[in-house]
Amino acid sequence: MSRTIQVTFDAHDPAAQSRFWALALGYTIPGPPGVELADGTDPLEAWVEFLTRIGVPADQHNSRSAIEDPDGDGPRVFFQQVPEDKVAKNRVHLDVRAAPGLDGDERMAALEAECERLVALGARRLRRVEPEPPMEAGFIVMTDPEDNEFCLD
């Protein structure tokens, strides 16, 4: 029997990381338990209201956040606040499939367009690896707003 997974990121700012990755992956930020969010309601603001109402101290309101695949196919991604800085290259990273089914120049153009979109959201571009068929299709290496490395693939 296979298992489902949750991907967990250590973060200084879980709310900001969840906003970035929700936009990057097309995921949603779930609302608090038992709270029905009206259209256009910011789920993170709803969480602050919920946490305040149940007595969670304000300094703990940004201690965690999560995003979920609205289709239910991808893993849940959880962000937990940690005090320490990231000091080395991450040993596990995400490959964001931004050009499925595309090859060559068309693939790289799609990756470049996605790279530009993510840079505007706070990501940083590190380098581009050119296609070298048959083994390498090409990809772009990036970092998220807290310098976690990922690839547009």
* Pairing state between β 139-143 and 124-129: antiparallel
What pLDDT score does 13 carry?
97
Q: Per-10-residue mean pLDDT for the chain, 153 residues long?
A: 92 98 97 93 96 96 98 96 88 92 96 98 98 94 96 96
Ramachandran bin of 138, using left for φ above 0, alpha for ψ from -120 to 50, beta for the remaining angles? left
pTM comes to: 0.92
What pLDDT score does 1 carry?
82
Q: Which two tokens stand for residue 63?
A: 């201690």
What pLDDT score does 125 carry?
98
Spatial distance between the Cα atoms of 115 and 152, rounded to a whole number of angstroms: 7
Cβ-based neighbours of 102, under 8 Å, separated by 6 or more? 110
Spatial distance between the Cα atoms of 91 and 64, rounded to a whole number of angstroms: 22
What pLDDT score does 64 carry?
97
Cβ-based neighbours of 53, under 8 Å, separated by 6 or more? none
Cβ-based neighbours of 22, under 8 Å, separated by 6 or more? 28, 29, 67
The label of the residue with tokens 């990036």 reads 142
